[in-house]
A and B are shown apart, each in its own frame.
Chain A
Amino acid sequence: MTSLDDYVATSPETERPVTEATEPSRYSLRHPKSRIGFLHPKVWLPLVVMLVVLGVLWEWGARSMPYLLPKLSSVGAALADEPDYYLRNAWVTLWEALLGLILGFVAAFFLAVLVSERAWARRAIMPVAVVLNVTPLVAIAPVLVVAFGFGPEPKLIVTGLICFFPILINTSVGLRAVPAEVVQVYRTLKASRLEMLWRIRVPSSLPYLFAALRIVFPLSIVGAVVAELSAPGAAAGLGTAISLASTMNRLPVVFASIAILALMGSVLLLLVTMAERRVLHWHETTKGAAG
């Protein structure tokens, strides 16, 4: 499974908008709806072939290493056996993930506004934020569990913290990515700080914010699962289900839970991408590259 470090250290992806900020933005003339439809074989065929290949490889692996990989059929059987069990645990994990994400988002957004408006705040906060961003939060999770017990609190804190930094860094860059000449035009109109923020800076930061959300929505699930895994006595959640099942050597249950986590992450990513297409129809990043 992907470790948390891998996610936290994806700074190339987090920092991508930083480089974009230095060059003037170009707005493409292409309309987003002019792409080929999803039903065209050119679109879905490569993916279907890829899935078939992966399925065949998986079954081959399951047959030659039965102690490492369960057969797909037994994973399916595990899911069909007690769907309530997975649904209940998935719901707990999803709830932790989204609530933690909201907490992290609110904190990060307001701090990003402060940091972008005041130079002293930027100088004080950003270096600390960057260091904390590259610190593996998996290492902090057990400490938080000791401090806050086995309830939802440590899970929300870990999830919130993981989501916090990409949002803070991207949004604070985005709020400051307004072209100098736009700032000059509205400075000669003596637009107030609040008007500049609300009418110009916040809308300009949305592409950066959505870049962060694309990272952070799937990441929130990672955060919740990591917190569940480091709290051995936790009552519910798919992370708990995984650690219970693996101590009992029930491989199909482990992989069924993982499959549901992957599905949840994908659905969240899809929702963010759809929202981004809608909100940022004016921006070039929504034209072409799929989420």
Chain B
Amino acid sequence: MKTAAIEVRGARRVYGFGPSAMVALDDVDLSVQPGRFVSVIGPSGCGKSTLLRLVAGLEPADRGEVGIHGVSPEEACAAKMVGLVPQTPALLPWLSVLKNVTLPQKVNRGAARRRAAIGEAADRVAPPEPPDMAELLRKAGLAEAAHKLPGELSGGMQQRTAIVRAFGLQPEVLLMDEPFSALDEFTRESLQEQLLDLWDELKTTVLFVTHSVSEAVRLSDAIVIMAAKPGRIIDVVNVDLPRPRGRDLLKTPEFHHLEDLIRDKLRGAWHTQVA
């Protein structure tokens, strides 16, 4: 079996001390094979963002292990194997769109060597050449925006820029934390399509945190369902819908059936939490 792209074992994370302590994650196990698109869904406070931050190496686990292609998140980040798309676009307002998406290539220049070393050990192909960012922007429909400042773009275009910035690294693992939650329904759907197009082209492993059921069903190969207090994984549902997933798929009974299934499980999680 290949090394998992994301491997979380017995992860526990507690915020605070004593009686006010909050168990954000309790005994979480998750294994994501390379090239899979996996969504994480659950009510507020179920620790889905915490899980993402553990994988991104932004927080340590209090107990348990997190691995990315067999190395720690810190090593994976140092090799620029991890791309992050946060909730807000997090663009630098003084840089043009093109400069914003190329800046990741300019920092941490030692990463390519480290990535090659990890790639060999994990029996992965050598990291690809850095892509032409102008070309990638064009594919994302941002050709005309390339020399504009982020402040001159709409929210949807800003978030698209943030996605291109993350894909530009050709990361082994792409972590997305509710990237479309601040956008309107139409922009959201068109961005989902573009995300799938980009993902199709630059096959990479995606961990996608969301609280939208239809978004999770449309995008994912598998959906991880979490519950709160303590934050834990209650179920993993495989989504066996055919790809590419165009707009028509959203109307099919299979799609609705999956949506209902996920909703039922989420409701179940919510009830056990209240009881």
CB contacts (< 8 Å) of B12 on chain A: these are none
Enumerate A186-228 residues with CB–CB distance to B below 8 Å: 186-192, 195, 199-200, 203-204, 206
Query: Nearest-CB distance from B91 to chain A (Å)?
Result: 8
* Interface check B228, CB cutoff 8 A: no
A190 touches B111 (CB 8 A): yes
B88 touches A195 (CB 8 A): no
* Interface check A53, CB cutoff 8 A: no
CB contacts (< 8 Å) of A190 on chain B: these are 74, 77-78, 80, 108, 111
CB contacts (< 8 Å) of A135 on chain B: these are none
B87 touches A181 (CB 8 A): yes
Task: Give the number of residues in B that approach A within 8 Å (Cβ atoms).
Answer: 30
Q: Roughly how many angstroms separate A199 CA and B94 CA in the complex, as a whole number?
A: 11
* Interface check A184, CB cutoff 8 A: yes
CB contacts (< 8 Å) of B149 on chain A: these are 27, 282
Supposing A182-B92, A184-B58, A190-B78 touch, asked if A195 and B151 sit within 8 A by C-beta, the answer is no
B104 touches A27 (CB 8 A): no
Give 1 or 0 for each of B67-96: 1 = CB within 8 Å of chain A CB. Answer: 000000010011010111011101011100
CB contacts (< 8 Å) of A28 on chain B: these are 151
B108 touches A187 (CB 8 A): no
Query: Nearest-CB distance from A271 to chain B (Å)?
Result: 21
A181 touches B151 (CB 8 A): no
B151 touches A29 (CB 8 A): yes
CB contacts (< 8 Å) of B175 on chain A: these are 188
CB contacts (< 8 Å) of A186 on chain B: these are 104, 107
A25 touches B93 (CB 8 A): yes
Enumerate A147-205 residues with CB–CB distance to B below 8 Å: 179, 181-182, 184-192, 195, 199-200, 203-204
CB contacts (< 8 Å) of A203 on chain B: these are 92, 94
CB contacts (< 8 Å) of B165 on chain A: these are 185
Task: Give the number of residues in A that approach B within 8 Å (Cβ atoms).
Answer: 26
Give 1 or 0 for each of B39-73: 1 = CB within 8 Å of chain A CB. Answer: 00000000000000000111000000000000000
Enumerate B133-182 residues with CB–CB distance to A below 8 Å: 149-152, 165, 169, 175
Supposing A190-B78, A203-B92, A203-B94 touch, asked if A185 and B84 sit within 8 A by C-beta, the answer is yes
Q: Which of A29, A184, A195 contacts B86 (CB 8 A)?
A: A184
* Interface check A122, CB cutoff 8 A: no
Give 1 or 0 for each of A15-43: 1 = CB within 8 Å of chain B CB. Answer: 00000000011011100000000000000
CB contacts (< 8 Å) of B77 on chain A: these are 187-190
Q: Roughly how many angstroms separate A167 CA and B163 CA in the complex, as a whole number?
A: 36
A179 touches B93 (CB 8 A): no
CB contacts (< 8 Å) of A189 on chain B: these are 77, 80, 104, 107-108, 111, 169
* Interface check B103, CB cutoff 8 A: yes
B107 touches A282 (CB 8 A): no
* Interface check A283, CB cutoff 8 A: yes
Query: Nearest-CB distance from B50 to chain A (Å)?
Result: 13
B90 touches A182 (CB 8 A): yes
Q: Roughly how many angstroms separate A106 CA and B248 CA in the complex, as a whole number?
A: 62
Query: Nearest-CB distance from A193 to chain B (Å)?
Result: 11
Find the A residue at minimum CB distance from B152: A29
A179 touches B107 (CB 8 A): no
B56 touches A184 (CB 8 A): yes
Beyond the given pairs A189-B169, A199-B107, 14 more chain A to chain B contacts, judged by CB atoms under 8 angstroms and listed by A's residue number, are A27-B93, A27-B151, A181-B88, A182-B90, A182-B92, A186-B104, A187-B58, A189-B104, A189-B111, A190-B78, A191-B107, A200-B92, A282-B151, A283-B93
- Between-chain CB contacts (< 8 Å), 19 pairs: A24-B88, A25-B93, A27-B149, A27-B150, A181-B86, A181-B88, A182-B90, A182-B92, A184-B58, A185-B84, A185-B165, A186-B104, A188-B58, A188-B82, A190-B80, A190-B108, A192-B108, A199-B107, A203-B94
